Amino acid sequence: MKEKILEYLRVAQGFVSGQELCEKLGVSRTAIWKNIRSLEEEGYQIQAVKNRGYRLVESPDSIKAQEINGYLHTKWLGRVLYTKESVDSTNTWAKRLAEDGEPHGTVVIADEQTQGKGRRGRHWVTPKGATIAFTKLLRPDMPPERASMLTLVEGLSVAQAVRSLYGLEAGIKWPNDVVVSNKKICGILTEMSAQVDYINYIVIGTGVNTNLTEFPEEIQHMATSLRIELGHEVKRAELLGALLEAFEKNYEIFEKTWDLSGLMNDYNLILVNCDTQVKVLEPGNEYVGIARGIDKTGQLLVEREDGSITRVYAGEVSVRGLYGYV
Protein backbone atom coordinates (compact mmCIF):
# COMPACT_ATOMS: atom_id res chain seq x y z
CA MET A 1 0.00 0.00 0.00
CA LYS A 2 2.85 2.38 0.77
CA GLU A 3 4.06 2.06 -2.81
CA LYS A 4 0.63 3.02 -4.14
CA ILE A 5 0.42 6.03 -1.81
CA LEU A 6 3.84 7.21 -2.99
CA GLU A 7 2.76 6.78 -6.60
CA TYR A 8 -0.30 8.97 -6.11
CA LEU A 9 1.66 11.63 -4.22
CA ARG A 10 4.36 11.76 -6.91
CA VAL A 11 1.90 12.04 -9.78
CA ALA A 12 -0.09 14.77 -8.02
CA GLN A 13 2.99 16.92 -7.29
CA GLY A 14 0.80 18.68 -4.77
CA PHE A 15 -1.75 17.85 -2.11
CA VAL A 16 -3.88 14.72 -2.29
CA SER A 17 -6.79 14.51 0.11
CA GLY A 18 -7.02 11.67 2.58
CA GLN A 19 -10.51 10.92 1.30
CA GLU A 20 -9.24 10.58 -2.27
CA LEU A 21 -6.53 8.14 -1.14
CA CYS A 22 -9.15 6.15 0.79
CA GLU A 23 -11.34 5.87 -2.28
CA LYS A 24 -8.50 4.96 -4.62
CA LEU A 25 -7.11 2.28 -2.31
CA GLY A 26 -10.33 1.09 -0.71
CA VAL A 27 -9.08 1.50 2.86
CA SER A 28 -9.86 3.60 5.90
CA ARG A 29 -8.38 6.99 6.82
CA THR A 30 -6.65 5.29 9.73
CA ALA A 31 -4.90 2.89 7.35
CA ILE A 32 -3.77 5.82 5.18
CA TRP A 33 -2.45 7.68 8.25
CA LYS A 34 -0.53 4.62 9.49
CA ASN A 35 1.14 4.14 6.10
CA ILE A 36 2.02 7.83 5.90
CA ARG A 37 3.66 7.55 9.33
CA SER A 38 5.57 4.46 8.18
CA LEU A 39 6.85 6.32 5.10
CA GLU A 40 8.00 9.19 7.31
CA GLU A 41 9.93 6.76 9.47
CA GLU A 42 11.72 5.58 6.29
CA GLY A 43 12.86 9.13 5.53
CA TYR A 44 10.08 10.52 3.34
CA GLN A 45 9.08 14.10 4.16
CA ILE A 46 5.31 14.35 3.80
CA GLN A 47 3.40 17.52 4.59
CA ALA A 48 -0.07 17.07 6.10
CA VAL A 49 -2.47 20.03 6.03
CA LYS A 50 -6.01 19.93 7.37
CA ASN A 51 -8.69 20.08 4.64
CA ARG A 52 -6.01 19.75 1.94
CA GLY A 53 -4.46 16.35 2.53
CA TYR A 54 -0.91 15.11 2.02
CA ARG A 55 1.98 16.36 -0.12
CA LEU A 56 5.31 14.66 -0.83
CA VAL A 57 8.05 17.18 -0.02
CA GLU A 58 11.23 15.11 -0.21
CA SER A 59 12.23 11.48 -0.83
CA PRO A 60 15.24 9.77 0.76
CA ASP A 61 18.13 8.41 -1.29
CA SER A 62 16.78 4.88 -1.18
CA ILE A 63 17.12 1.88 -3.48
CA LYS A 64 14.07 0.11 -2.08
CA ALA A 65 11.60 -1.16 -4.66
CA GLN A 66 8.91 1.32 -3.62
CA GLU A 67 11.25 4.21 -4.44
CA ILE A 68 12.70 2.75 -7.64
CA ASN A 69 9.27 1.93 -9.07
CA GLY A 70 8.38 5.61 -8.87
CA TYR A 71 11.03 6.32 -11.51
CA LEU A 72 10.64 3.15 -13.59
CA HIS A 73 9.07 3.73 -17.00
CA THR A 74 10.24 0.62 -18.84
CA LYS A 75 8.04 -1.94 -20.59
CA TRP A 76 9.84 -5.15 -19.55
CA LEU A 77 13.22 -4.37 -18.02
CA GLY A 78 13.12 -4.31 -14.23
CA ARG A 79 9.48 -5.33 -14.02
CA VAL A 80 10.80 -8.24 -11.97
CA LEU A 81 12.91 -6.40 -9.40
CA TYR A 82 14.81 -7.57 -6.35
CA THR A 83 16.60 -5.34 -3.85
CA LYS A 84 18.80 -6.08 -0.85
CA GLU A 85 20.76 -3.98 1.58
CA SER A 86 23.90 -6.10 1.20
CA VAL A 87 25.05 -8.96 -1.04
CA ASP A 88 28.35 -10.57 -1.95
CA SER A 89 27.97 -9.65 -5.63
CA THR A 90 24.92 -8.65 -7.67
CA ASN A 91 26.22 -10.75 -10.59
CA THR A 92 26.51 -13.82 -8.35
CA TRP A 93 23.02 -13.15 -7.00
CA ALA A 94 21.58 -12.71 -10.51
CA LYS A 95 23.19 -15.96 -11.69
CA ARG A 96 21.58 -17.83 -8.81
CA LEU A 97 18.22 -16.39 -9.80
CA ALA A 98 18.86 -17.28 -13.45
CA GLU A 99 19.51 -20.90 -12.50
CA ASP A 100 16.20 -20.83 -10.61
CA GLY A 101 14.38 -19.75 -13.77
CA GLU A 102 13.84 -16.01 -13.29
CA PRO A 103 12.77 -14.37 -16.58
CA HIS A 104 14.48 -12.18 -19.14
CA GLY A 105 14.61 -8.58 -17.88
CA THR A 106 14.95 -9.36 -14.18
CA VAL A 107 17.02 -6.75 -12.31
CA VAL A 108 18.73 -7.07 -8.93
CA ILE A 109 20.04 -4.12 -6.93
CA ALA A 110 22.09 -3.89 -3.75
CA ASP A 111 22.95 -0.98 -1.48
CA GLU A 112 26.29 -2.63 -0.74
CA GLN A 113 28.49 -5.31 -2.30
CA THR A 114 31.02 -7.09 -0.10
CA GLN A 115 32.68 -9.00 -2.95
CA GLY A 116 31.95 -6.87 -6.00
CA LYS A 117 33.72 -8.08 -9.13
CA GLY A 118 35.46 -6.21 -11.91
CA ARG A 119 37.11 -7.45 -15.09
CA ARG A 120 40.03 -9.87 -14.84
CA GLY A 121 39.27 -10.67 -11.20
CA ARG A 122 39.59 -7.12 -9.94
CA HIS A 123 37.66 -6.04 -6.86
CA TRP A 124 34.98 -3.35 -7.37
CA VAL A 125 34.38 -1.30 -4.22
CA THR A 126 30.68 -0.73 -3.45
CA PRO A 127 30.32 1.01 -0.08
CA LYS A 128 26.87 1.30 1.44
CA GLY A 129 24.77 4.22 0.25
CA ALA A 130 27.40 5.74 -2.07
CA THR A 131 27.04 3.87 -5.36
CA ILE A 132 24.58 2.04 -7.57
CA ALA A 133 25.29 -1.68 -7.92
CA PHE A 134 22.85 -3.59 -10.10
CA THR A 135 22.71 -6.51 -12.51
CA LYS A 136 20.39 -7.27 -15.42
CA LEU A 137 19.46 -10.84 -16.30
CA LEU A 138 18.94 -11.38 -20.03
CA ARG A 139 18.05 -14.44 -22.12
CA PRO A 140 18.77 -13.31 -25.70
CA ASP A 141 18.16 -15.60 -28.68
CA MET A 142 21.50 -14.91 -30.34
CA PRO A 143 24.81 -16.74 -30.95
CA PRO A 144 27.12 -16.76 -27.88
CA GLU A 145 29.94 -15.08 -29.79
CA ARG A 146 27.87 -11.89 -29.99
CA ALA A 147 27.42 -11.54 -26.22
CA SER A 148 30.40 -9.22 -25.75
CA MET A 149 28.62 -6.50 -27.73
CA LEU A 150 26.10 -6.15 -24.91
CA THR A 151 28.83 -4.64 -22.75
CA LEU A 152 29.14 -1.82 -25.27
CA VAL A 153 25.34 -1.43 -25.32
CA GLU A 154 25.44 -1.00 -21.54
CA GLY A 155 28.30 1.51 -21.67
CA LEU A 156 26.41 3.57 -24.24
CA SER A 157 23.24 3.42 -22.14
CA VAL A 158 24.99 4.62 -18.97
CA ALA A 159 26.62 7.54 -20.79
CA GLN A 160 23.33 8.55 -22.41
CA ALA A 161 21.44 8.40 -19.10
CA VAL A 162 24.04 10.54 -17.32
CA ARG A 163 23.99 13.08 -20.14
CA SER A 164 20.19 13.24 -20.24
CA LEU A 165 19.61 13.43 -16.49
CA TYR A 166 22.45 15.70 -15.39
CA GLY A 167 23.75 17.46 -18.49
CA LEU A 168 27.27 16.13 -17.91
CA GLU A 169 29.46 15.44 -20.95
CA ALA A 170 29.73 11.72 -20.27
CA GLY A 171 31.72 9.82 -22.87
CA ILE A 172 32.99 6.31 -23.51
CA LYS A 173 36.57 5.15 -23.44
CA TRP A 174 36.54 2.08 -25.67
CA PRO A 175 35.13 -0.42 -25.19
CA ASN A 176 32.82 0.37 -22.25
CA ASP A 177 34.41 2.63 -19.64
CA VAL A 178 32.08 5.58 -19.02
CA VAL A 179 34.06 8.72 -18.24
CA VAL A 180 33.32 12.26 -17.10
CA SER A 181 36.11 14.86 -17.10
CA ASN A 182 38.34 12.07 -18.47
CA LYS A 183 37.83 10.01 -15.31
CA LYS A 184 35.94 6.75 -14.91
CA ILE A 185 32.54 6.75 -13.20
CA CYS A 186 31.31 3.28 -14.09
CA GLY A 187 32.39 -0.34 -14.14
CA ILE A 188 30.65 -3.06 -16.19
CA LEU A 189 31.08 -6.81 -16.00
CA THR A 190 29.22 -9.13 -18.39
CA GLU A 191 29.11 -12.88 -17.70
CA MET A 192 27.44 -15.67 -19.62
CA SER A 193 26.21 -19.23 -19.26
CA ALA A 194 26.05 -20.89 -22.67
CA GLN A 195 26.23 -24.05 -24.72
CA VAL A 196 28.24 -24.25 -27.95
CA ASP A 197 25.49 -22.59 -29.97
CA TYR A 198 22.98 -21.45 -27.36
CA ILE A 199 22.92 -18.86 -24.58
CA ASN A 200 21.33 -19.97 -21.33
CA TYR A 201 21.54 -16.48 -19.86
CA ILE A 202 23.68 -13.36 -19.65
CA VAL A 203 24.13 -11.13 -16.61
CA ILE A 204 25.37 -7.55 -16.96
CA GLY A 205 26.62 -6.07 -13.73
CA THR A 206 27.04 -2.31 -13.49
CA GLY A 207 28.47 -0.15 -10.74
CA VAL A 208 28.12 3.63 -10.97
CA ASN A 209 30.02 5.99 -8.67
CA THR A 210 27.17 8.18 -7.52
CA ASN A 211 27.75 9.82 -4.12
CA LEU A 212 31.35 8.86 -3.41
CA THR A 213 33.41 11.84 -2.23
CA GLU A 214 36.90 10.33 -2.23
CA PHE A 215 38.91 7.49 -3.74
CA PRO A 216 42.02 5.55 -2.77
CA GLU A 217 45.18 7.42 -3.72
CA GLU A 218 46.16 4.89 -6.37
CA ILE A 219 43.04 5.57 -8.49
CA GLN A 220 42.36 9.26 -7.77
CA HIS A 221 43.85 10.22 -11.12
CA MET A 222 41.41 8.02 -13.06
CA ALA A 223 38.17 7.81 -11.02
CA THR A 224 35.43 10.28 -10.18
CA SER A 225 31.78 10.30 -9.10
CA LEU A 226 28.61 12.10 -10.08
CA ARG A 227 28.58 13.94 -6.76
CA ILE A 228 32.12 15.24 -7.31
CA GLU A 229 31.31 16.38 -10.84
CA LEU A 230 27.93 17.94 -10.00
CA GLY A 231 28.78 19.35 -6.58
CA HIS A 232 25.74 17.76 -4.95
CA GLU A 233 24.26 14.37 -4.10
CA VAL A 234 22.16 12.47 -6.63
CA LYS A 235 19.06 10.34 -6.11
CA ARG A 236 20.12 6.81 -6.96
CA ALA A 237 16.58 5.57 -7.67
CA GLU A 238 16.06 8.34 -10.23
CA LEU A 239 19.36 7.51 -11.92
CA LEU A 240 18.55 3.80 -11.92
CA GLY A 241 15.24 4.46 -13.65
CA ALA A 242 17.04 6.45 -16.36
CA LEU A 243 19.72 3.75 -16.75
CA LEU A 244 17.17 0.98 -17.24
CA GLU A 245 15.08 3.04 -19.65
CA ALA A 246 18.13 3.85 -21.80
CA PHE A 247 19.25 0.22 -21.90
CA GLU A 248 15.80 -1.10 -22.79
CA LYS A 249 15.62 1.31 -25.74
CA ASN A 250 19.11 0.40 -26.95
CA TYR A 251 18.60 -3.33 -26.43
CA GLU A 252 15.48 -3.28 -28.60
CA ILE A 253 17.55 -1.69 -31.38
CA PHE A 254 20.37 -4.21 -30.83
CA GLU A 255 18.09 -7.26 -30.98
CA LYS A 256 16.81 -6.35 -34.45
CA THR A 257 20.16 -7.34 -35.96
CA TRP A 258 22.11 -8.79 -32.99
CA ASP A 259 24.92 -6.37 -33.75
CA LEU A 260 25.74 -2.68 -33.21
CA SER A 261 24.78 -1.43 -36.67
CA GLY A 262 21.80 0.49 -35.26
CA LEU A 263 23.77 1.99 -32.36
CA MET A 264 27.19 2.50 -33.95
CA ASN A 265 26.70 6.18 -34.85
CA ASP A 266 25.41 7.11 -31.38
CA TYR A 267 28.33 5.26 -29.81
CA ASN A 268 30.97 6.89 -32.00
CA LEU A 269 29.57 10.37 -31.32
CA ILE A 270 30.50 10.09 -27.63
CA LEU A 271 33.58 7.89 -28.00
CA VAL A 272 36.32 9.98 -26.38
CA ASN A 273 39.02 8.06 -28.27
CA CYS A 274 37.52 8.81 -31.67
CA ASP A 275 39.88 10.58 -34.08
CA THR A 276 42.60 10.79 -31.43
CA GLN A 277 45.94 9.06 -31.10
CA VAL A 278 45.82 5.91 -29.00
CA LYS A 279 48.31 3.34 -27.83
CA VAL A 280 47.22 -0.27 -28.37
CA LEU A 281 48.70 -2.68 -25.86
CA GLU A 282 48.50 -6.30 -27.00
CA PRO A 283 50.35 -9.15 -25.32
CA GLY A 284 53.85 -8.93 -26.76
CA ASN A 285 52.92 -6.09 -29.11
CA GLU A 286 52.42 -2.34 -28.77
CA TYR A 287 51.68 0.26 -31.41
CA VAL A 288 50.28 3.76 -31.89
CA GLY A 289 47.51 4.78 -34.26
CA ILE A 290 44.44 6.97 -34.65
CA ALA A 291 41.11 5.56 -33.43
CA ARG A 292 38.39 5.87 -36.06
CA GLY A 293 35.42 4.57 -34.11
CA ILE A 294 33.88 1.12 -33.90
CA ASP A 295 32.40 -1.19 -36.52
CA LYS A 296 29.10 -3.03 -36.18
CA THR A 297 30.71 -5.79 -34.10
CA GLY A 298 32.20 -3.37 -31.58
CA GLN A 299 35.79 -3.67 -32.77
CA LEU A 300 37.83 -0.48 -32.62
CA LEU A 301 39.14 0.68 -35.99
CA VAL A 302 42.70 1.94 -35.61
CA GLU A 303 44.43 3.69 -38.49
CA ARG A 304 48.12 2.82 -38.58
CA GLU A 305 50.93 5.09 -39.76
CA ASP A 306 50.86 3.51 -43.22
CA GLY A 307 47.13 4.26 -43.59
CA SER A 308 45.98 0.68 -43.07
CA ILE A 309 43.12 -0.09 -40.68
CA THR A 310 43.52 -2.61 -37.87
CA ARG A 311 40.44 -3.96 -36.12
CA VAL A 312 41.06 -4.24 -32.39
CA TYR A 313 38.96 -6.77 -30.49
CA ALA A 314 38.25 -6.10 -26.81
CA GLY A 315 39.62 -8.78 -24.54
CA GLU A 316 43.23 -8.95 -23.54
CA VAL A 317 43.94 -5.79 -25.54
CA SER A 318 44.14 -2.47 -23.74
CA VAL A 319 43.78 0.92 -25.39
CA ARG A 320 45.07 4.09 -23.73
CA GLY A 321 45.39 7.69 -24.66
CA LEU A 322 48.89 8.51 -25.80
CA TYR A 323 49.60 10.45 -22.60
CA GLY A 324 47.31 8.90 -20.01
CA TYR A 325 44.20 6.90 -19.16
CA VAL A 326 42.03 8.59 -21.80
Topology classification of domain 277-321: SH3 type barrels. (2.30.30)
**Is the confidence at residue 317, as pLDDT, over 80?**
no
**Is the confidence at residue 118, as pLDDT, over 60?**
no
Class (C level, CATH) for 65-269: alpha beta
Topology classification of domain 2-58: Arc Repressor Mutant, subunit A (1.10.10)
* Residues across the chain: 326
**pLDDT (0 to 100) of residue 170:** 97
Q: Is-contact 217 160, C-beta < 8 A?
A: no
Residues 6+ apart with CB under 8 A from 41: none
User: How many Å apart are CA 67 and CA 115, to the nearest integer?
Assistant: 25
**Is the confidence at residue 138, as pLDDT, over 60?**
yes
pTM equals 0.87
User: How confident is the model over 247-305, as pLDDT tens digits?
Assistant: 999 999 999 999 999 999 999 999 998 999 988 888 878 888 999 999 999 999 999 99
121 vs 182, higher pLDDT: 182
**pLDDT (0 to 100) of residue 25:** 87
- Each domain of the chain, given as residue ranges in start order, spans 2-58, 65-269, 277-321
**pLDDT (0 to 100) of residue 121:** 52
| 87-109: average pLDDT | 96
Confidence of residue 94 (pLDDT cuts 50, 70, 90): very high
| 43-57: average pLDDT | 87
Is residue 175 reached through a cis peptide bond, with omega within 30 degrees of 0 on the bond before it? yes
